[in-house]
Structure 1
Amino acid sequence: MDLKKSISLKNRLKEVLKDCLLSSTGHGLAHFIKANNYFIRITWAFFIIISACLCSYMIAQNILKYLKFDVNTKIRVVNQFSAVFPTNYFHPNYGNCFQFNPGYDNYENSDDLESTQFIERLGGLRLVLNLSVPDSLKFINPNIGGIIFIHNHTTHPTVVDPVTLSPNTETNIALSRTFYELKEKPYSNCDKNTNDKNYFKSVPYYLIHNYTKGYSQMMCTYQCLQLILIKECSCYTASYPNFFDSIPCINQTYIECYRKFFMDKKNTEKYLKECIDQCPLECEGMWLDKVISVNQYSAKKYQELVQNYNGSDKLFLNKNETFDDLAIVNIYYRNLGYTEITESVTVEFVDLLSSIGGVGGLFLGASALTLKSRIIIKKSEENIKLESELHKIT
């Protein structure tokens, strides 16, 4: 009795499974089950296997394409009629530092940024710099000249490439701006929320947000290295910016410790890795492209002009100073527009689901092969019918 019940239950399950397959949208399976002819079944089985293989391959291709996390890069030029003038941080080698348009005054209070509505030299900044060095200090550096750092007001001057100035020359620096915005992880190595002070927990990260207007991984890494150096040698290096309350590595003991710190390649690599882990990469930023031209100006004629000058600011001119150590620099925008670089995701997760659904509907439903297979099967049925009739006649 139990055996009969078991057989009956098994048959019922088979019937239910058969009904499900026959009513399934996978037409190939339904036709395979309903086919009475052996040849037709083999044909349907062949097409079902081919369809399943192609379906699996295309779904795998879509998933692999999504997991590449590729992006499309769009570059366009945006026109403007006004631009914030860049911040200039310039100094003679090992000399005093001056800053123009930093966004704050001498008392560290917020100040309005200067803008310009003009291009070319007439709308720029013109500086006349005295690059003379006292004889007692010339042994420090054999070079005579100045260095200018041109950067956005949110960028620290030490993370940009400087422009060197020579005495008795006029240097023209034409600028154009490029802003970029990358897609965050996993499409790149950057983190989207680095402008949030509380986004990341590390001492260098907090320092950058406390002492600068814009976050930079490079500046954060500098502070991390300074922190490690201070722990190891009780001093900081003047080669990098420093926001810690410490003394510079100037005496022999500190210098020896400093050299040992940076000369050990294994330790340096280890420290850099530690610092990269403490300093996330920003997704947004900008840079200034520079076109530099230099010419020599007539020092004698310019000296005569200055000596005869009687304007209200003549008190700031040293008419007895030799003009061979003077340098003129003009900083201006080539155009007020800027280049914008943005990224967009090539394959979104929704696109992946749509692709998989489309491929599944195409192949699992056997839609792509149904027409062709039906033609073959129809022809086979006609041949079988013809053979059957011939057999009856004979």
Structure 2
Amino acid sequence: MSIPKSGLRRKLKNSFKDWILDSTSHGFPKIFKTERLSLKVMWTIGLCISIGFCSYLIARSIMNYVQFGVTTTIRYKTEIPMDLPAVSICQNLMFSTQKSAEFKENVWRKNGIEDIFNSTFLSTFFASNYQESMNLIITEYFSRLNALNYNLNSEIKKTFGFNLEEIMISCFIGTLECKKDDFIWYFDQFYGNCYLFNTGKFENGTVKEKYTQSDLGYFGGIRFEFLNKIKPVENYTISKGFHLTIFDSNSTANSQKGLDISPKVLTNIMLKKRKITQLPDPYSECLIDHSSFQSSEVYQSTLKKSETYSQDICYDICFQEYLISKCNCSDPNKPFFKNVKNCLTIEEIFCVFIAYTEFMAKLDVKVTCSKHCPLECETVQYDYTSSFSEYPTNIQARGILNYLSRRNISNNYSLDEIINNSLQVNIYHAQLKLETIEESKQMELVDLISNIGGILGLFIGISILSFAELIEICLEILFVIFETKNKAKIINVESKINQIKV
């Protein structure tokens, strides 16, 4: 005896109707419960509109979630004492001694340059409508490349520029005098002889205590006083003054981000320290986990340049790798990467120009270097504002002259020369507060679930328990089918028994 299909359909229909009428959702029970057609139509239209709005808002919530938006929070945290920044001190030119002038002239002669402004070599290979300016740029570039030659030892390079003891008149942190071992010499790619101050390290790399600021105003910060005298090579210089770079002591000085300080001026540099923390991918392009880059030579070379990883340095080394592959030589302007010769000949320098143009203009640097150079998620920056006043006064100039005479390094400077070449710099925090900029997720997964739940509850009246009703109706259907089959089997057995008895 087979199961009557009409009976099964009737039971399923009744079970479904009972489930709808008992449902906690809105709309559906009303449609099945009311006997009036007009009310059925009204509830059906209302339910369709509600489902439409509900679907739209749920889709919008999901789209907002997968956009991985962030909320940026800015806070100010008082820090007393507050670490003073590291400072790179350079003169505004690489060559400022008689030996450096001789070195430059030797480089020019090797390249067929006897007179800077009347050079056939320069006007032929580097023709320009502004030939005089171009000649100064090219000769300075040639000289700088040769000075950066990896084969030149540090002692030779030190003779090209200033000695800190000769040009520094005074150095104070508050009322505390600076020490000689506070300064570390290094040779910068653009400015030559430079000195690092307040890096938290001695020259041998061991850790030392950093200077801090506890009082507001420039009396609590760093004060440098310099005498910018470059008399032996003044005829070969383009500009005069000093170049300071202010940076976090855990990073590396980038002189291209520094500022020029002019003679005859007192410069106040008021700092604001900022710490930026970004959320990693997919919320930004930065990465916390750099394990996938460990096999990259470019990445490993970057880590050797600084205590903390820097994408800017990594990009420079990435270009260096590209240049070596194209020209079989390296650019001494960029960080050292591999033990290959410098690009110093005319042919090699032209190759550098072509490779640089291709790398920057034709290639997508971001894509080319992405396999080597992830973006860091945390950075420390120093914003600053500057103010200026005339310096020195006559009494200050006389004090400087007396100081130089007492140290027997006056070099017969006149009072006018002191006035025209001395300068003072004050570097201090404008406020003893750290500005922190932190990103947080605009929408967590729990927020998405809450939004969807709220929308479903508002428009359809569904809660989390309403989904259990779906399980209930599925089980109810199975029970109805199972019970109907069992009942049919029992009837079939009883029918056969009755037939046997007869």
TM-score between the two structures when normalised by the length of structure 2: 0.65
- CA offsets, 1:268-314, max 9 Å, x none? 52344211342121222122121212233237544432343499xx5
Secondary structure of residue in 1 paired with 2:89: strand
Residue type of the alignment partner of 2:433: G
- 2:275 is equivalent to residue 179 of structure 1: yes
The separation in 2 between residues aligned to 1:253 and 1:316, in whole angstroms, is 48
Superposed CA RMSD: 2.8
Change (3 A) 1:170 1:319: farther
The separation in 1 between residues aligned to 2:235 and 2:194, in whole angstroms, is 18
The separation in 2 between residues aligned to 1:231 and 1:318, in whole angstroms, is 52
- State which of 346, 354, 375 in structure 2 corresponds to 1:260: 354
The answer to whether the Cα contact below 8 Å between 1:168 and 1:299 also exists between their aligned partners in 2 is no
Secondary structure of residue in 1 paired with 2:363: helix
The answer to whether the Cα contact below 8 Å between 2:311 and 2:374 also exists between their aligned partners in 1 is yes
Shift of 1:73: 1.9
The separation in 2 between residues aligned to 1:187 and 1:270, in whole angstroms, is 22
The answer to whether the Cα contact below 8 Å between 1:32 and 1:45 also exists between their aligned partners in 2 is yes
The separation in 1 between residues aligned to 2:262 and 2:404, in whole angstroms, is 28
Residue type of the alignment partner of 1:276: S
Change (3 A) 1:357 1:179: same
Please name the residue that 1:5 is paired with.
Answer: 4
- 2:381 is equivalent to residue 284 of structure 1: no
The answer to whether the Cα contact below 8 Å between 1:159 and 1:218 also exists between their aligned partners in 2 is no
TM-score between the two structures when normalised by the length of structure 1: 0.82
Please name the residue that 1:320 is paired with.
Answer: 412
Residue type of the alignment partner of 1:42: V
The answer to whether the Cα contact below 8 Å between 1:225 and 1:272 also exists between their aligned partners in 2 is no
Change (3 A) 1:189 1:362: same
The separation in 1 between residues aligned to 2:326 and 2:366, in whole angstroms, is 15
- State which of 190, 200, 213 in structure 1 corresponds to 2:307: 213
- 2:32 is equivalent to residue 33 of structure 1: yes
Moved more, 357-366 or 335-344: 357-366
The answer to whether the Cα contact below 8 Å between 1:76 and 1:339 also exists between their aligned partners in 2 is yes
The separation in 1 between residues aligned to 2:461 and 2:399, in whole angstroms, is 90
- 2:327 is equivalent to residue 233 of structure 1: yes
Please name the residue that 2:152 is paired with.
Answer: none
Shift of 1:232: 1.9
- State which of 339, 342, 347 in structure 1 corresponds to 2:443: 347
- State which of 247, 253, 262 in structure 2 corresponds to 1:166: 262
The answer to whether the Cα contact below 8 Å between 1:169 and 1:328 also exists between their aligned partners in 2 is yes
The answer to whether the Cα contact below 8 Å between 2:244 and 2:255 also exists between their aligned partners in 1 is no
The separation in 1 between residues aligned to 2:23 and 2:332, in whole angstroms, is 75
The answer to whether the Cα contact below 8 Å between 2:227 and 2:421 also exists between their aligned partners in 1 is yes
The separation in 1 between residues aligned to 2:60 and 2:437, in whole angstroms, is 29
Please name the residue that 1:129 is paired with.
Answer: 226
The separation in 2 between residues aligned to 1:250 and 1:84, in whole angstroms, is 42
Shift of 1:137: 7.2
Residue type of the alignment partner of 2:428: Y
Residue type of the alignment partner of 1:200: F
The separation in 2 between residues aligned to 1:331 and 1:57, in whole angstroms, is 56
Secondary structure of residue in 1 paired with 2:351: helix
The separation in 2 between residues aligned to 1:356 and 1:74, in whole angstroms, is 26
Secondary structure of residue in 1 paired with 2:336: coil
Please name the residue that 1:200 is paired with.
Answer: 293
The answer to whether the Cα contact below 8 Å between 1:150 and 1:160 also exists between their aligned partners in 2 is no
Please name the residue that 1:333 is paired with.
Answer: 429
In structure 1, the gaps of 5 or more residues are 368-394
Aligned length: 360
The answer to whether the Cα contact below 8 Å between 2:263 and 2:423 also exists between their aligned partners in 1 is yes
- CA offsets, 1:331-383, max 9 Å, x none? 2221221222222222211011011012112322389xxxxxxxxxxxxxxxx
Kindly, what percent of the aligned residue pairs are identical? 28
Residue type of the alignment partner of 2:12: L
Please name the residue that 2:201 is paired with.
Answer: 104
Change (3 A) 1:256 1:353: same
The answer to whether the Cα contact below 8 Å between 2:392 and 2:422 also exists between their aligned partners in 1 is no
Shift of 1:257: 1.0
Please name the residue that 1:274 is paired with.
Answer: 368
Please name the residue that 1:143 is paired with.
Answer: 239
Change (3 A) 1:105 1:7: same
The separation in 1 between residues aligned to 2:277 and 2:383, in whole angstroms, is 17
Please name the residue that 1:117 is paired with.
Answer: 214
Secondary structure of residue in 2 paired with 1:282: coil
- 2:384 is equivalent to residue 294 of structure 1: no
Residue type of the alignment partner of 1:112: E
Change (3 A) 1:290 1:366: closer
The separation in 2 between residues aligned to 1:366 and 1:109, in whole angstroms, is 66
The separation in 2 between residues aligned to 1:223 and 1:316, in whole angstroms, is 45
The separation in 2 between residues aligned to 1:130 and 1:238, in whole angstroms, is 30
Shift of 1:66: 2.0
In structure 2, the gaps of 5 or more residues are 95-191, 464-502
Secondary structure of residue in 2 paired with 1:97: strand
Residue type of the alignment partner of 2:335: P
The answer to whether the Cα contact below 8 Å between 1:151 and 1:160 also exists between their aligned partners in 2 is no
Change (3 A) 1:99 1:144: same
Please name the residue that 1:363 is paired with.
Answer: 459
The answer to whether the Cα contact below 8 Å between 1:26 and 1:366 also exists between their aligned partners in 2 is yes
The separation in 2 between residues aligned to 1:154 and 1:229, in whole angstroms, is 29
Moved more, 107-116 or 266-275: 266-275
Change (3 A) 1:112 1:230: farther
Residue type of the alignment partner of 1:82: P
Secondary structure of residue in 2 paired with 1:12: helix
